[in-house]
Structure 1
Amino acid sequence: MWALRRAAHPLKNHGYCLGASRTCCVKSNIVCNDIEDRVVVCRPTRFISKRCLPINRFYHTPSVHAKFYLGSCSLSSQAGEKSSGEEDDSEDGVHELETSASADIFEESNTKEENIGEHVSEPELSDNDTAEASHNDMYFLDADMGTTEKDSHQKSGPSQLFKAIMAAPGKSVLGALDKWVEEGNDLGRAEISVAMLNLRKRRMYGRAWQFFEWLEANKRLDFVERDYASRIDLIAKIRGPLKAEKYIEKIPESFRGEVIYRTLLANCVAAGNIKKAEEVFNKMKDLEFPITAFACNQLLLLYKRHDNKKIADVLLLMEKENVKPSLFTYKLLIDTKGKSNDITGMDQLVETMKAEGIEPDIHIQAILARHYISGGLNEKAEAVLKEMEGSNLEENRVACRALLPLYGSLRNADEVGRVWEVCESNPQLNECVAAIEAYGKLGKIEEAEAVFERMLKTWKGLSSRHYSALLKVYANYKLLTKGKDLVKRMADDGCQIAAVTLDSLVKLYVEAGEVEKADSILQKAAQQNHMKPMVNSYLVIMDHYARRGDVHNAEKIFHKMRQSGYVSRMRQYQTLLLAYTNAKVSVYGFRERMKADNIFPNKSLAAQLVQVDPFRKTAVSDLLD
């Protein structure tokens, strides 16, 4: 663990204050230059996160003493999130738990996904999220329903009960289950397990939630702790973590174990609710549950996305509690270093990982290659890709899904063609999506379209995610007419527009210069389909309004994001302030608005605030006064 922190922080000194009345300083490799930003609260029994480890200093800065107050090592947030009702009843389309086996970029699903009317958003994945794209719904079914991983995978083919649930209209699942029992069909734990597993694999959380509601109401299953955990997970996905937390009160106390709270923690992280996630973590500490790599990784994932300054705090906690970093820990840290352009630090972490006896898997290799490409280190990227490929690509087909878009990013058409040739005779669905992405990066629109037509002929009932692959290509090249035709074709094929498709459609119109049309489409889709759009869909429109200096529409998008359950963060405020700056108008009460959301301006935002401050003093204003 010490080696990990040294790789993560090539720094020198930090200090500790133990207890409430005495202070001592020791040397270490953590640094904090941001002394003025620190909030010092000395408690002997809590670990206070003080926002004092910004990510740039987390990697390479001069040595400065930083102080930590270490007690029972729980976390609290200074820049937390509102826990008001604005999050209630909001579904959560992504549940990111640590696993090495079910990352979306390597998943194949030939089944049409749940329709939007069932409150399901497709995962918000992007090229920059491969390190954290592990949606481990299998975790709940393999363990929660009482079957072993091996058994559940053997039985994971569609069951008759699953087919009955699928055949029922969206709001008639309960009736279909009543009919199933009346006809004398089997409803044992094994049958329930397989049906629920198939629903989760297809992210049909609405139907899975109704299934659990029916099981509990009709006492058809003797619930154990992991069943309750699976129930909490579905409630959080459909109605939000706050509703899931309230459900815990209904669980018999003997079943309120660590699995219950870590499930809630993971969903708070997926929802991006910093304050609530830290509260749950603290609750787990108060209940004397062991601090595990799983719980720490959830915090790392949360801070990686929303508050990089706190990553070092978690590593300190892991070191103090003797928590050994897992493969997922390294994935998160390596990706974070790559995004900060610290390639040297990224390589050092890989060496540290290997020294600990953990070999990089294909996901980590893909992360490394992506960041090498972004940093212009094409030769290093190519070396990693050859390592991913192995000696025989035909026997290592799992690598093709990652290799195709990465070779596309390298603009290496020959290698894209070679890898696709391995897949072309008998392609998997995810390989087709990867090939479309790769050809799109190369600007080979016709080749991308050919692969898409191949998909349509090979598989029936493709989901909106598969149409989105080609739609993104059209958006990147501003092919508005082709994009419109594809959306119409998608509708004719009976495929509903989901959040990921809507995001591509919004980008298509924005890139074509039709920002108002993109805005209109976004609002209509959210209202008519009762979906929660991806946060990026709002931001791409808001960015354009801000660059225009269109304060009215920028404020409107800001408000719509809050209505959709996205609590305002630094990114939204920076964009909104840019709109005021470009409009050259003063803004009143902006600091107070940020403070109400527990957001404190960084240096760049503080400089922006000065420019639009109606009360700022200048040389001319001083003369006139």
Structure 2
Amino acid sequence: MWAFRRASHPLRNHGLSISILRVHSPKSDWSCFGDNAVIVKSSQASPGRYPSLERSYCLTSCTHRLSMGSRCLSTQAGAESSGEEEDDAFAELEEPVSAKAFQKGDSADESDNELVSELELSADEDAEKASQNELDLPENETESTKKKSRKTVKSELFEAINSAPGLSVQQILDKWVEDGKEITREEISLAMFNFRRRRMYGKALQLSEWLESSKRLNLTEGDYASRLDLIAKVRGLPKAESFLNKIPESFRGELVHRSLLANYVTASNVTKAEETFNKMRDQGFSPSSFSINQLLLLYKRLDKKKIADVLLLMEKENVKPTMLTYRLLIDTKGQLNDITGMEKIVDAMNAEGIKPDIGTQALLAKHYASGGLIEKAKAVLKEMEGGDLKKHWWACHSLLPLYAELGEADEVERVWKVCEPNPRLEDCIAAIEAWGKLKKIQEAEAVFERMLKTWKISSKHYSVLLKVYASNKMLAQGKDLIKRMADSGRRIGPFTWDSIVKLYVEAGEVEKADSVLTKASQQNQMKPMYSSFMSLLDHYAKRGDVHNSEKILYRMKQSGYTARIRQYQCLLNAYAKGKVPAYGIRERLKVEGVTPTRSMEAQLAQIDPFKKTLVSDLLD
């Protein structure tokens, strides 16, 4: 079960030595522990707390695992998060490439999405979606819901609220009751599902608040957990913390704390996430696969040296990995181009009887392609098709961009023809992106026009074509599309700003992109996306423009984005390119809680104003 912990390569240079005594099974390459103990020791043990996990324990009941013998496990303190090349095989976990394996909403209004740009902190959107489904809130999408027909799951209550934008949710619900219509838990859950699917969290929160004030239903812990989650998304984490204290003690259980933990992870707040995790353990809640996966998501982004500790904790507590656990670790190995390690994790999955889903298969195909293993990538794509793509139509939106990544225009056309008679919105989005990658702009525009005629799309969906124009440096066409979007009355929000910023940046007009983002955020009082800032920071850094690089970093902090290694790597690059000494930079990194990686240490040495040279040594 724990083959993925050390698949393919021993870890090095971390200062944590773990010796494992294992008994080999004569039947296969797996080891079976049976009644034999696994002894793990560390001088850094701190019993019962996280992240300083207790590491001296015995396991007496374990399932099949890969035989690794006695190894040396290491978790380098300087593991980085940006994908820069490092020496260690498993410590350098990188951001996953989104396989877009989950269904998105058929329509979305950015006016209801003002405070969700935290999801853009990384490329972990698929993992975020999967972890939200694991949270098991009452209105979460179920497997049966996912596999229903292409039609959106209908909710009369949702339609009533959504079709009356001039009225408050409370007014609509009061009238609903006055008209003699029944409020059932099924109807509420269905409405909530539709609101969440479209990220219309504000209206979902109003519905939740009305539900409590009207006392129409007996609330459960799941209802309180859902409410806390919505408060965190709409009003911020401090308000969610306050709400937690107001929840009746009998309903303040594990599910409520899971909800808070998930939102801390989404906000990349390491301190609060660890405090919540430890609080859950103090209250007697055993670590679950959900909470463990949240830690993996968090440390995958921000503090990779702790990943090995999380895996040790899973082994100690006998927490079984879920599909999301495997997906995160498969993606890690793939990003490192460790194809052998990636395949061993897949073997471990199969040994546990867990079959890779579409999203996991998409990751495998993506990494095979990136590693130059084109035939293996194609073989996985054929598996995703299931022998008859018309019967496996839900795979289309994953297949389209993957075939485009391989440069297979004919295959993209073939898959699109399967979708074309009755496409879903996500199929159209994937097709636009695929044609854009292949530089077939007319085909992308044709799909967009069809999408425009079929659905009432939001500015977010305009942004898909806008990004195609940006990546192909088509500034004039991008400007025309923006004007068309504005003329249609679409509200322009963070998703659109992000596309506009990239449009100007790719056209070489970085100052214009900066000006647009500044004016947009000031006028609309909305939080720009992380990627919008990073597009500007990257280009200012490449120019050696220290002043503007510092300015962007300051604006990111003002917008609420926590310090991350990636930001400071760009900043150090700006100082190096500009040949400007960086006074006090090490102290800044320490205050921000950023541990320099090896590549950053080289940058720091280069821009050190007090560095010694051969000449300075002679003069001294």
The answer to whether the 8 A contact 2:118-2:266 is kept is no
Q: Tell me the distance in 2 between the aligned counterparts of 1:383 and 1:28.
A: 35
Shift of 1:452: 0.9
Using the alignment, how far apart are the partners of 2:608 and 2:303 within structure 1? 27
Deviation of 1:13 after TM superposition, in Å, equals 11
- 1:580-619 aligned within 5 A: 580-619=575-614
Q: Relative to structure 1, is the Cα distance of residues 404 and 139 closer, same or farther in structure 2, using a 3 angstrom cutoff?
A: same
1:369 alignment partner in structure 2: 365
Q: Which of 432, 443, 447 does residue 443 from structure 2 map onto?
A: 447
1:232 CA drift (Å):
0.7
Q: CA deviation at 1:138?
A: 6.2
The residue identity in structure 2 corresponding to 1:283 is: K
Which residue of the partner structure matches residue 320 of structure 2? Answer: 324
SS in 2 for 1:513: coil
Q: Aligned residue for 1:490?
A: 485
The equivalent position to 1:231 in structure 2, one of 219, 227, 237, is 227
Q: Is the 2:79–2:597 Cα contact (8 Å) retained in structure 1? A: no
Choose from 193, 197, 207 the match for 1:197. 193
Cα offset for 1:503? 1.5
How much has 1:205 moved relative to structure 2? 0.3
Q: Does residue 521 of structure 2 align to residue 523 of structure 1? A: no
Would the aligned equivalents of 2:50 and 2:274 in 1 still touch at CA under 8 Å? Answer: no
Residue 548 of structure 2 corresponds to: 553
Is the contact made by 1:79 and 1:598 (CA closer than 8 Å) also made in structure 2?
no
Q: In the aligned structure 2, how far is the partner of 1:600 from the partner of 1:386? A: 43
Deviates more, 1:6-15 or 1:365-374: 6-15
| Distance change >3 Å, CA 192–CA 25, structure 1 → 2 | closer
Question: Aligned pair 1:536/2:539, yes or no?
Answer: no
Partner of 2:570: 575
Correspondence for 1:264 among 256, 260, 265: 260
1:458–1:183 distance in 2 versus 1, CA, 3 Å: closer
Task: Name the counterpart of 1:74.
Answer: none
Cα distance in 1 for residues equivalent to 2:44 and 2:274: 17
Aligned counterpart, 2:26: none
Deviates more, 1:155-164 or 1:566-575: 155-164
Is the deviation greater in 184-193 or in 251-260? 184-193
8 Å CA contact 2:466, 2:500 repeated in 1: yes
| Aligned counterpart, 2:88 | none
CA distance in 2, matches of 1:148, 1:474: 36
| 1:89-120 deviation line (CA, Å, top 9, x unaligned) | xxxxxxxxxxxxx9964415333x23326634
1:414–1:123 distance in 2 versus 1, CA, 3 Å = farther
CA distance in 2, matches of 1:255, 1:144: 14
Q: Which residue of 1 aligns with 2:5?
A: 5
More displaced 10-residue stretch of structure 1: 117-126 or 150-159: 150-159
The secondary structure found in structure 1 opposite 2:246 is coil
Cα-to-partner distance string for 1:313-359 (whole Å, 9 max, x where unaligned) = 11111111111111111111001111111111101111111111111
Q: Cα gap change, 1:229/1:618 in structure 2, threshold over 3 Å: closer, same or farther?
A: same
**Bigger mean CA deviation after superposition, 189-198 or 479-488:** 189-198
Secondary structure of the 2:388 match is coil
Contact 2:112 2:199 in 1 (8 A): no
- Distance in 2 (alpha carbons) for counterparts of 1:106 and 1:151: 12
CA distance in 1, matches of 2:219, 2:510: 51
Match among 138, 162, 165 for residue 144 of structure 1: 138
Give runs of aligned pairs for residues 234-253 of structure 1, distance below 5 A.
234-253=230-249
- Out of 147-156 and 318-327, give the one that drifted further: 147-156
1:213 to 206, 209, 214: 209
Q: Distance in 2 between matches of 1:618 and 1:217?
A: 71
Q: Which residue of structure 1 aligns with residue 310 of structure 2?
A: 314
User: Which secondary structure state, in structure 2, belongs to the residue aligned with residue 119 of structure 1?
Assistant: coil
- Per the TM alignment, residue 178 of structure 1 is displaced from its structure 2 partner at its CA by 3.9
Match of 2:619 in 1: 624
SS in structure 2 at match of 1:446? helix
Contact 1:144/1:230 (8 A) holds in 2: yes
Query: Is 1:424 matched up with 2:386?
Result: no
Q: CA deviation at 1:159?
A: 3.8
Deviation at 1:135, TM superposition (A): 5.4
Determine the structure 2 residue equivalent to 1:352: 348
Q: Which residue of 2 aligns with 1:46?
A: 49
Quote the Cα distance in structure 2 between the aligned partners of 1:427 and 1:315.
Answer: 41
What is residue 57 of structure 1 aligned with on the other side?
Answer: none
Q: CA deviation at 1:174?
A: 3.3
Distance 2:323 2:354 in 1: 7
Q: Which runs of 5+ in 2 are unaligned?
A: 24-41, 56-67, 81-97
Moved more, 170-179 or 393-402: 170-179
| Matching residue of 1:478 | 473
Q: Which amino acid aligns with 1:212?
A: S
Q: CA deviation at 1:11?
A: 5.5
1:381 matched to which residue of 2? 377
Counterpart of 2:391 in 1: which secondary structure? coil
- Alpha-carbon distance in 2 for matches of 1:41, 1:134: 35
Is the Cα–Cα contact under 8 Å of residues 78 and 598 in structure 2 kept in the other structure? no
Match of 2:276 in 1: 280
Contact 2:101 2:398 in 1 (8 A): yes
Bigger drift between 299-308 and 561-570 goes to 299-308
Q: What is the deviation of 1:49?
A: 4.1
What letter is aligned with 1:563?
Q
CA contact (8 A) 1:436 1:451 kept: yes
- Following TM superposition, by how much is the alpha carbon of 1:273 offset from its aligned partner in structure 2, in angstroms? 1.3
User: Structure 1 8/79 Cα, relative in aligned 2: closer, same or farther at 3 Å?
Assistant: closer
Contact 1:121 1:499 (8 Å CA) reproduced: no
Cα RMSD of the aligned pairs, angstroms, is 3.5
Alignment of 1:83-162 (within 5 A): 105-107=101-103, 109-111=105-107, 113-116=108-111, 119-121=114-116, 124=119, 129=124, 132=127, 134=129, 144=138, 157-162=153-158
Deviations 1:409-429 (A, max 9, x none): 111111111111111122221
Cα pair distance change 1:192/1:65, threshold 3 Å:
closer
Residues matched between the structures, number: 569
Tell me which residue corresponds to 1:20: none
Q: Cα 1:378–1:16, aligned 2, differ >3 Å: closer, same or farther? A: closer
The Cα shift of 1:64 comes to 4.2
Distance 1:417 1:284, change over 3 A: same
Find the aligned partners of 1:308 and 1:314 in 2 and give their Cα distance: 10
CA 106–14 in structure 1, closer or farther in 2 if over 3 Å, else same: closer
- Residues in 1 aligned to 2:326 and 2:141: alpha-carbon distance in whole angstroms: 30
Residue 4 of structure 1, CA deviation? 3.4
Partners of 1:148 and 1:573 in 2: how far apart? 40
Relative to structure 1, is the Cα distance of residues 200 and 438 closer, same or farther in structure 2, using a 3 angstrom cutoff?
same
Counterpart residue number, 2:65: none
1:503 touches 1:536 (CA, 8 Å); kept in 2?
yes
Residue by residue over 1:550-608, the C-alpha shift from the partner in whole angstroms, topping out at 9 and shown as x without a partner, is 11111111011111111111111111121122221212211111111111212221221
Q: Using a 3 Å threshold, how does the CA distance of structure 1 residues 384 and 127 change in structure 2: closer, same or farther? A: farther
What SS does the corresponding residue of 1:483 show, helix, strand or coil?
A: helix
- The separation in 2 between residues aligned to 1:392 and 1:302, in whole angstroms, is 38
Deviation at 1:260, TM superposition (A): 0.7
The change in CA–CA distance for 1:393 and 1:65 in structure 2 (over 3 A counts) is closer
CA shift, 1:25, in A, is: 5.9
How far is the alpha carbon of 1:493 from its aligned partner?
A: 1.9
The answer to whether the Cα contact below 8 Å between 1:439 and 1:448 also exists between their aligned partners in 2 is: yes
TM-score normalised according to structure 1 size: 0.83
Aligned to 1:21: none
8 A contact 1:106–1:430 mirrored in 2: no
Q: SS in structure 1 opposite 2:468?
A: helix
Contact 2:10 2:73 in 1 (8 A): no
Structure 1 pair 114–466 and aligned structure 2 pair: CA distance change class (3 A): closer
| % same residue | 58
Q: Give yes or no for contact 1:545–1:554 (8 Å, CA) kept in 2.
A: yes
Alpha-carbon distance in structure 2 between the residues aligned to 1:43 and 1:326: 27
* 546 and 344 in structure 1: CA distance in 2 versus 1, 3 angstrom threshold: same
2-side partners of 1:383 and 1:212: how far apart? Answer: 47
Change (3 A) 1:601 1:120: closer
For 2:230 and 2:338, locate their aligned partners in 1 and report how far apart those are by CA, in whole Å. Answer: 38
